[in-house]
Structure 1
Amino acid sequence: MKYRSIGDLRVSSLGLGCMGMSEYYGNQNDEESIATLNYALELGVNFLDTADQYGVGKNEELVGRVLKSVRQQINIATKFGFVRDEAGKVIEINGSKEYVKKACEASLRRLNTDYIDLYYLHRVDPRVPIEETIGAMKELVEEGKVRHIGLSEASSQTIKRAQKVHPIAALQTEYSIWSRDIEEEILPLCRKLNIAVVPYSPLGRGFLSGKLKSIDNLVKNDYRRNSPRFQGENFNQNLLLIQRLEDTACQMNISPAQLALTWLLSNGEDIIPIPGTKRRSYLKENIAAIDIELPKNVKDFIDKTVPVGSAIGDRYPVQSMKLLNQ
C-alpha cells in the first residue's frame, strides 16, 4: 500500500467508500460487505468512509462491527447533516450547534468508538452560518471526540469562511474524469489552504468502469435510474464518451476503472479517492490502480478527449443539485 496525508493522518492512497453496502446501489448483503471490509484491511486500506445517513445509520453500525478490533490502525471518516425520518425520507439539512453535538454522539455510538478521525459536514445548511457549524465541530475536536474537520460539496467562499474558524483538513466532493468542475476554482483554493481533496464517485457511479452497458442492467431500486446522466439519450451519449477510455485502457492492458483511478491519483498527492464497492473482486481491481503509472502522453490524451464538461446531464436530480457548492 502507498499512503497520502490528510492533516496528520496517514491514509491509504485509495480509501473505501462504504455507502453502497447499505443503500442506493441495489440489494444489500451484509455478509459480503463485512468480507469486503476485512479484505480491504488485508490489502492495507486504512481509510474507511461512511455517513450517518447511509442506510439511516445502518452503514455506520456495519463499519463499527469491523472497526472495533482494529481501531488504532484505521482512519474512519463519517458525515452528518442530512436528517431523515424512519422511512428514509430526507427531512432537512441541519448544521445547527445543537444538532452537530447530537449527530456526533449518535455516530460514535453506532461506530462503537470514542473518536472520529475525520468528521464532515455532509452538506452546508443554508439557514445556519458556517461559522456556527464549524464552531460546534471545533468544540468536538477540543473534547477529543473528533480529530479533524472536513466539508463536503462546499463552495470556495464557504471553505474560506470555515477555515477562519478552524483548519479544514479535507474537502469531500465529486471528482472524476467526467466530473471536473472543481479544477477551476475549488481545487486551487484547497491547495492554497493545504486542504486534502477526497473525491467520491471517482468511477462516475460505476459508469467509468465500463461494466454498465445498459440502464436495464440496474435493479429497480438502484438510485442511478433517477440520475440524469444515466437516463435516455444522455446514457447513450455518455456511453460513447466512455468507449474512448475503454480503448485507451485496453492499450495499456488495464481495466477502464483502473485507468480512471490512476488518472485521479496522478493529479496530485493531495487527492485521496474513495471508490465504493461491496464486492471483493472490484476492491482488488481498484487497489491495483495504486501501482500503475500513467504516461504523460496518455494523461494529455484523456484531458483532451474528455475535457471539462464532457458528460451529458447533471450529476444529480434537480433538488439534490441545489445542495451542491453551497
Structure 2
Amino acid sequence: MRTRRVGTSDLHVSEISFGTMSIGTDEQQAIKLLHEAQDLGINYFDTADLYDQGRNEEIVGKAFKGRRDNIILASKVGNRLNADGHGWHWDASKDYIISQIKTSLQRLQTDYLDLYQLHGGTMEDNIDETIDAFETLKKEGLIRYYGISSIRPNVIREYVKRSNIVSVMMQYSLLDRRPEEQTLDLLAENQISVFARGSVAKGMLSDKTTEKVKQKGSDGHLTYTYEELLAASEKLRLLAKNEQTSVTDLAVRYILQHPALASAVMGASSLEQVKQNAALTTDRLPDDLYAQLQQITKPITYDNHR
C-alpha cells in the first residue's frame, strides 16, 4: 500500500488507515482485525483514551505488543471521564494532558506515541497552555509529534498560527465538503496534513449507498434533504457502474485528491470490512471524473466556528 508523509514529520502513513473506535471489546476478535489490517499493509492506527473508557487503548496495546516498531500509533486526549464513571467533560489543561499521556502509554504498552492529538478544541481553551503541554511531552520523548482532531475553522487557524502541529483530523467526504471552503488549502500551504474521517458518511457513500441512505439519511444529512441524498446516491451508483469501480472507491479517491490529505481513516468491525478497506483503490481521479463527483454533490459552508 502506498504511503504519504505527514506534514513536515518523518511519519509516512498508509493512504488507507485504521480508526479503531469500532473494533469492539471482544479482545480476541478485535486483535484479529488489527493484525489483519497490518498484514494487508495498513500501518497507521488511530485510537483515543475515550473509546470504551480506555478499553480500546488496552486492546490496541495488546495487539501490537511485539509489532510496535512496524506501526505508526496515534491516540487522543481532552475528553476527561467523570469521576463517577458516567459521561465526560472537556479538559485541555496542561496538567491533564501531561498526566493522561502516562495512562495512555501504559494501556498501549509502549514508551511513546508517534502522534498525540487534541480530541477537539474550543476558542475558550487556553490554547497556549495546551500547546505547551504537547511541546513538553515532545521534549520528554513521550510523543514524536502532535496534532488536533477538529472540524472548527477558527480553532484550526489558531493552531496553524501558534503551534507546531503536523496534522489535523477532520470529517471530510463527498457529502461533507465543508473543509474545501478554506481549511484544506490553508493546511496544504502550511505543510500540515489531514487525516479524513467519515469518508463514506456512515455507509451512505458505500456500495450499499441507497440502502444506507434509507437507514441513516431519513432525516437528511447536513444541508441535504432525504430526497437529495437519494438522488445523489443513485447518480453515484450509476457513475461507479460506468467507471467499472465501486462507490466506496470513488468516495475515498475523491477525498484523497487534495494535496493536504495524508490518509483516509476507516473503521471496521469485521474481517470482511478490513479486507475491503485495505483493497480500496487510491489512484488519483482523472480531472473530469473529479468534476463529475463535485457536480453530483454540493459544497457546504460552515455556519459556526468561523
Q: State the TM-score, normalized to the length of structure 2.
A: 0.88
Compared CA separation, residues 243 and 213, structure 1 to 2 (3 A): closer
Contact 1:4-1:269 within 8 A present in 2 as well: no
Between the aligned partners of 1:269 and 1:70, the Cα distance in structure 2 is 29
2:274 corresponds to:
283
Taking the aligned partners of 1:101 and 1:249, their CA distance within structure 2 comes to 47
Alpha-carbon distance, 1:86 to partner: 7.3
Instruction: Write the deviation string for residues 216-249 of structure 1: whole angstroms up to 9, x where unpaired.
Output: 997xxxxx69x96479x94454233222111111
Mark the CA change 1:163 to 1:109 in structure 2 (over 3 Å): closer, same or farther. same
Q: Report the counterpart of residue 15 of structure 2 in structure 1.
A: 13
Quick one: structure 1 residues 238 and 36, their matched pair in 2 at CA, closer, same or farther if it must change by over 3 Å? Answer: same
What amino acid is aligned across from residue 107 of structure 2 in structure 1?
Answer: R
**Identical-pair percentage:** 29
What are the superposed Cα offsets for residues 270-290 of structure 1, whole Å, 9 maximum, x if unpaired? 331101112222222222223
Equivalence for 1:124: 121
2:249 maps to which residue?
Answer: 258
Please tell me whether the aligned partners of residues 121 and 152 of structure 1 are also in contact (alpha carbons under 8 angstroms). Answer: yes
Aligned residues: 303
* Structure 1 residues 215 and 294, CA gap change in structure 2 (3 angstroms): closer
- Contact 1:261 1:286 (8 Å CA) reproduced: no
Give the corresponding residue for 2:181: 184
Deviation at 1:154, TM superposition (A): 5.0
Once the two structures are superposed, what CA deviation does each residue of 1:110-141 show, in whole Å capped at 9, x if it has no partner? 11111011111011144422111111111000
Q: Which residue of 2 aligns with 1:194?
A: 191
**Displacement after TM superposition at 1:212 (Å):** 5.8
Q: 1: CA distance between counterparts of 2:50 and 2:164?
A: 25
Instruction: Give the aligned partner of residue 318 of structure 1.
Output: none
What amino acid maps onto 1:211 in structure 2?
K
Give the 3-state SS of the residue equivalent to 1:55 in structure 2. Answer: helix
Secondary structure (helix, strand or coil) at the match of 2:53 reads coil
Secondary structure of the corresponding residue to residue 5 of structure 2: strand
**Aligned counterpart, 2:299:** 308
Task: State whether residues 48 and 75 of structure 2, in contact with CA within 8 Å, keep that contact through their aligned partners in structure 1.
Answer: yes
Contact 2:192 2:260 in 1 (8 A): no
Structure 2, unaligned runs of 5 or more: none
**Relative to 1, partners in 2 of residues 1:146 and 1:192: Cα closer, same or farther, differing over 3 Å?**
same
> Any conservation in 1 of the 2:196–2:261 contact (CA below 8 Å)?
no
CA contact 2:210–2:234 (8 Å) conserved in 1: no
- Structure 1 residues 13, 87: closer, same or farther in 2, change over 3 A? farther
3-state SS in 1 of match to 2:95? helix
Letter in 2 for 1:93: W
Is 1:244–2:238 an aligned residue pair? no
Question: What corresponds to 2:263 in structure 1?
Answer: 272
Whether contact under 8 Å (1:14, 1:290) holds in the other structure is no
Matches within 5 A, 1:206-245: 206-211=203-208, 213=210, 229=220, 234-235=225-226, 237-245=228-236
Offset of residue 102 of structure 1: 1.8
- C-alpha displacement at 1:69, in angstroms? 1.3
Determine the C-alpha separation between the residues in 1 that align with 2:92 and 2:172.
Answer: 24
Q: Which amino acid aligns with 1:102?
A: S
Amino acid at match of 1:303: Q
Alignment CA distance shift 1:21-1:126 (3 Å) = same
- Say if 2:52 is the partner of 1:55: yes
Structure 1 equivalent of residue 111 of structure 2? 114
1:136 aligns with 2:124: no
Cα RMSD between the aligned structures?
Answer: 2.8
- Residue 101 of structure 1 aligns with an amino acid whose one-letter code is I
Q: Letter of the aligned partner of 2:4 in structure 1? A: R
Ranges of 4+ aligned residues in structure 1 off by more than 6 Å: 215-218
Offset of 1:200 from its aligned partner? 0.7
Q: Give the distance between the partners of 1:13 and 1:138, measured in 2 at CA.
A: 27
For the pair 1:38 / 2:35, whether they are aligned, the reply is yes
- TM-superposition CA deviations, 1:169-228 (whole Å, max 9, x none): 00000001111101111111101111001101111122211426557997xxxxx69x96
Q: Deviations over 1:66-110 (max 9, x none)?
A: 121111111011111112347864331110111111221111111
Using the TM superposition, give the Cα deviation of residue 157 of structure 1 relative to its aligned residue in structure 2, in angstroms.
4.0
* Equivalent position amino acid for 1:94 in 2: D
Contact between 1:258 and 1:288, CA under 8 Å: does it hold in 2? no
